[in-house]
Structure 1
Amino acid sequence: MQVTETKAEGLKREIEIVVPASDLEARLQTRLYEAKDQVKLKGFRPGKVPLAHMRKMYGRSFMAEIVNQIVSETPRNVIAERGERSAMQPEIQMTEDEAEAEKVLRGEGDFRFTLSYETLPSFELKETSGIKIERPVVEIPEDEVEEQVKRIAENARAYEPKDGAAENGDRVTMDFVGKIDGEAFQGGSATDSNLVIGSGQFIPGFEDQLVGVKAGEEKQVEVNFPEDYGATHLAGKAAVFDVTVKAVAAPGELELNDELAKKLGLESIERLRTVVREQIESQFGMATRQKVKRQLLDALDADYDFELPEKLVEAEFGNIWTQVSRELEQSGKSFEDEDTTEEKAREDYRKLAERRVRLGLVLSEIGEKAGVTISDEELQRAVLEQVRQYPGQEQQIYDYFRKTPEAVQSLRAPIYEEKVVDHLLSTVDVTDKTVTKEELMKDDEEDEQAAA
């Protein structure tokens, strides 16, 4: 086999490989000999079929198998022998000339093909001990815990049917249909919906207009969706809701006691407070982790600047752009609505793609040098976490991962990244800084995009 490098420009490589006809013939002879004892042909005893006859019957198909095997195995071996790592699956180009291809299959010509690929860049890892991270920490006051406990108690509060008109604090059970310009809109209808007047759960102005309604009454509620409403296709629009009141109920006493906890499956109100505190700590902990990770990745991004494989960047940009386009389509917005242009957005998101690829390569190299690995148990826990996200479909989701190994492997990258981040945080200078809840939670979306 002859291996000739025909291009070496930056990370791009092109390798021409020639397998002489004599090598193909030797492989074919071996294949024919191996198959001799297995082939059953009329008129011949087992193992007594002449090789010439075997070649006539199976030579072409066996040669096709040999060519496919060469194409499958050679790229990996050639790249490894060159001491390189391909950024993505190499592209393989073979002749499109049918006559030339036929000569190869008949064993009369050399087999030529070309590998095109980009290598992973080589770079020196830099010292991380000089990186300084400020970890934002929120001290959870008792009144924060108590407020959350009261919200839980509100949701568990008992309500008694009421004959009179609904007042602030009463619960109204209703059916409603929302319309804009006389047309019902998606997500604007519900049946047997419960709403506590004054809870602020619905669009501003909606609950106020339910004060005074009685069971069996029909009412039209007119509201305006806020300009910053989450569903942007409804933001700022006037709507009319046709409401049918089915029941009105008055609230019972708000109980903060062991009986409340027992209704929730806990032994005491103190245990409930402990659980609530743990939930708040977990929520704030995730936000703290996100901000710490953002600082760490920013520091790494500033430390490294090397050529990136174009195809990796293109693939990452394609993923980002598909998501952005889908979100714009679902929201009914345009780039102009976001105070930008498509050209500027493409430029910004390409920079984000380059950052992600660069950091991915750096983290991978750091993890490899540090001996970071993913155990089967960790992958299994990740699968179970995915399963839990689909209540009612657990078996189908579990079966999907069991039958789709590549889906399981897709969970490996985020686990690996978090373990490398943990390793790095043990090597850098981390100091705690007490902040408010508002300071900790702001700009989370930007942090998530940059840290990803």
Structure 2
Amino acid sequence: MQVTETLNEGLKREIKVVVPAADMESRLMERINDSKDKVRLKGFRPGKVPTAHLKRMYGKSFMAEIVNEIVTHSTRNVIAERDEKAAMQPEVVMTEDQDEAEKILAGEQDFAFELKYEIVPQFELQDVSDITIERPVVEVADEEIEDQIKQIAQSARSYETKDGAAEDGDRVTLDYLGKVDGEPFDGGKAEGANLVLGSGNFIPGFEEQLIGLKKDDEKTITVTFPEEYGAEHLAGKEATFDVTIHEVAAPQDQELDDELAKKLGLESMDKLREIVRDQVQGQYGQMTRQKVKRSLLDALDERYQFETPEKLTEAEFNNIWNQVTADLERNGKSFEDEETTEEEARADYQKLAARRVRLGLVLSAVGEKAGITVTDEELQKALGEQLRRYPGQEQQVMEFYRNTPDAVNALRAPIFEEKVIDHLMEEVSVNDKTVSKDELMADDDEEFGSSTATGGDDA
């Protein structure tokens, strides 16, 4: 087998591989001889089928198998022998000429093909001990916990039927039938539905028009679906609802005591406060984690500037762009609504894609050097989370991941990334800074994450 480099330009590589016809014929004869004792043909005793007859019957199919094996093994071996790492699966280019292909399968012509790929750029990992990260921390006030418990109490309180008109905060039991242009629409009908007025659970303007109604009252109300409503056929449309009230019930006072906790399945109010505090601290902890990670990635981005593989960056850009355009379409917006143009947006997101790829490569290298891996247990946990998202379809989801290696890698990548971030956080300096809830929850201008498409155990 002859291996010749035909292109070495930046990160791009092209390699020509030629397997002489004599070698192809030799491999074919080995395959035929190996199959003699396995093939069963009518009119021949086992092991007595003439070689020429086997070649005539199975030569092309055997040679096709040999071609596939050569391409698979050569691609991996050639790159490994060159001490290179392909950024993505190499492109294999073979002849498209039918006559040439027939001659190759017949063992009458050399088998030649090209490998085209980009390599992962080489860079030196830098010491990060001089990086200082500010970690925003919110101190959870007792008042916030009490406010959360009051909201819980409101959802757990009971209602008592009353005479008279419905007021804000009352619960009404009603039937309704929604129509657009006089025609009922899917999902616009319910019987015996419960609705707490002022909860904001229905279309804006719906609940307000029920205030003042009494038991057995009937009314037709008119509302307009929001422009960003999830169902496209209803978004922005005016609709009428024929409403019948069956009951009006007033909320009963709910004391913040152990009885409330027991109603929620807990032994005491102290336990409820403990759980609520843990939940609130957990929510703030997630936001703190995002801010700290952003700061760390920003610091790494300043230190690492190198060319990224073109196709890998293009793939990342396409992922981002598809999401951006889908969001715009779903919300009925354009680039002009976002005070930009498509051309400017493309340029910005191409920079973002390059950053994500570059940081993904850096994190991959850091993780590899530190010996970070994703365990089977961690992967199974991630898979379990996916299964819970699709109740009743667990078998199909399992089959999908079993047959789709890229999907498994997509589960592994974020786990790997978070473990690398944890590793780096132990090496940098971290200073805690107490901030307000609003400061912590404030959105960054843009989401500059990283891509670990080449990271993880398969890096």
State if a TM-score over 0.5 links the two structures: yes
Tell me which residue corresponds to 1:41: 41
Q: Which stretch of the first structure deviates more once superposed, 280-289 or 57-66?
A: 57-66
User: Aligned-pair distance for 1:4?
Assistant: 0.4
Tell me which residue corresponds to 1:435: 435
User: Aligned-pair distance for 1:203?
Assistant: 5.6
Q: 1:213 to 1:435 in 2, by over 3 A?
A: same
Tell me which residue corresponds to 1:93: 93
After superposition, residues 211-226 of structure 1 pair within 5 angstroms as: 211-222=211-222
After superposition, residues 19-98 of structure 1 pair within 5 angstroms as: 19-98=19-98
Equivalent pairs counted in the alignment come to 452
Q: Which stretch of the first structure deviates more once superposed, 107-116 or 198-207?
A: 198-207
Tell me which residue corresponds to 1:12: 12
Alignment-mate amino acid for residue 320 of structure 2: I
1:315-367 CA-to-partner distances (Å, cap 9, x unmatched) read 11111111122222221211112211111111111111111111111110010
Alignment-mate amino acid for residue 363 of structure 1: L
Secondary structure of 1:411's aligned partner: helix
Asked if the contact 1:173/1:194 (under 8 Å) is kept, the reply is yes
Q: 1:192 to 1:349 in 2, by over 3 A?
A: farther
After superposition, residues 52-201 of structure 1 pair within 5 angstroms as: 52-176=52-176, 191-201=191-201
Asked if the contact 2:254/2:260 (under 8 Å) is kept, the reply is no
> Is 1:328 aligned with 2:324?
no
User: Aligned-pair distance for 1:245?
Assistant: 2.1
Quote the Cα distance in structure 1 between the aligned partners of 2:207 and 2:48. Answer: 92
User: Aligned-pair distance for 1:151?
Assistant: 0.7
User: Aligned-pair distance for 1:378?
Assistant: 0.7
Q: 1:258 to 1:201 in 2, by over 3 A?
A: same
Gaps of 5+ in 2: 453-459
1:285-327 CA-to-partner distances (Å, cap 9, x unmatched) read 1111111111111111111111111100111111111112222
User: Aligned-pair distance for 1:3?
Assistant: 0.4
Asked if the contact 1:232/1:332 (under 8 Å) is kept, the reply is no
Asked if the contact 2:137/2:434 (under 8 Å) is kept, the reply is yes
Asked if the contact 1:205/1:223 (under 8 Å) is kept, the reply is yes
Alignment-mate amino acid for residue 304 of structure 1: Y
Gaps of 5+ in 1: none
Q: Which stretch of the first structure deviates more once superposed, 156-165 or 136-145?
A: 156-165
User: Aligned-pair distance for 1:191?
Assistant: 4.8
Q: 1:202 to 1:57 in 2, by over 3 A?
A: closer
1:382-433 CA-to-partner distances (Å, cap 9, x unmatched) read 1122223345555654565456555333210000000000001111111111
Tell me which residue corresponds to 1:263: 263
Alignment-mate amino acid for residue 134 of structure 2: E
Quote the Cα distance in structure 2 between the aligned partners of 1:227 and 1:35. Answer: 68
Q: 1:394 to 1:106 in 2, by over 3 A?
A: closer
Asked if the contact 1:317/1:349 (under 8 Å) is kept, the reply is yes
Asked if the contact 2:227/2:331 (under 8 Å) is kept, the reply is no
Quote the Cα distance in structure 2 between the aligned partners of 1:442 and 1:213. Answer: 41
Asked if the contact 2:90/2:117 (under 8 Å) is kept, the reply is yes
> Is 1:347 aligned with 2:347?
yes
Alignment-mate amino acid for residue 350 of structure 2: R
Quote the Cα distance in structure 1 between the aligned partners of 2:377 and 2:444. Answer: 31
User: Aligned-pair distance for 1:240?
Assistant: 5.1
Tell me which residue corresponds to 1:382: 382
Tell me which residue corresponds to 2:319: 319
Alignment-mate amino acid for residue 257 of structure 1: D
Secondary structure of 1:361's aligned partner: helix
Quote the Cα distance in structure 2 between the aligned partners of 1:31 and 1:228. Answer: 63
Quote the Cα distance in structure 2 between the aligned partners of 1:175 and 1:10. Answer: 69
Secondary structure of 1:311's aligned partner: helix
Asked if the contact 1:3/1:17 (under 8 Å) is kept, the reply is yes
Alignment-mate amino acid for residue 332 of structure 1: G
Q: 1:401 to 1:270 in 2, by over 3 A?
A: farther
User: Aligned-pair distance for 1:64?
Assistant: 1.8
Quote the Cα distance in structure 1 between the aligned partners of 2:227 and 2:54. Answer: 79
Q: Which stretch of the first structure deviates more once superposed, 117-126 or 396-405?
A: 396-405
Tell me which residue corresponds to 2:363: 363
Secondary structure of 2:5's aligned partner: strand
TM-score by length of 1: 0.91
Tell me which residue corresponds to 2:456: none
Asked if the contact 2:294/2:449 (under 8 Å) is kept, the reply is no
1:48-88 CA-to-partner distances (Å, cap 9, x unmatched) read 33323332332222222211211121111101111111111
Quote the Cα distance in structure 1 between the aligned partners of 2:73 and 2:221. Answer: 70
Asked if the contact 2:133/2:295 (under 8 Å) is kept, the reply is yes
User: Aligned-pair distance for 1:18?
Assistant: 0.6
Q: Which stretch of the first structure deviates more once superposed, 332-341 or 140-149?
A: 332-341
Tell me which residue corresponds to 2:457: none
Secondary structure of 2:124's aligned partner: coil
Asked if the contact 2:297/2:449 (under 8 Å) is kept, the reply is no
User: Aligned-pair distance for 1:221?
Assistant: 4.0
Secondary structure of 2:419's aligned partner: helix
Q: Which stretch of the first structure deviates more once superposed, 61-70 or 274-283?
A: 61-70
Q: 1:115 to 1:435 in 2, by over 3 A?
A: same
Q: Identical aligned pairs, as a percentage?
A: 65
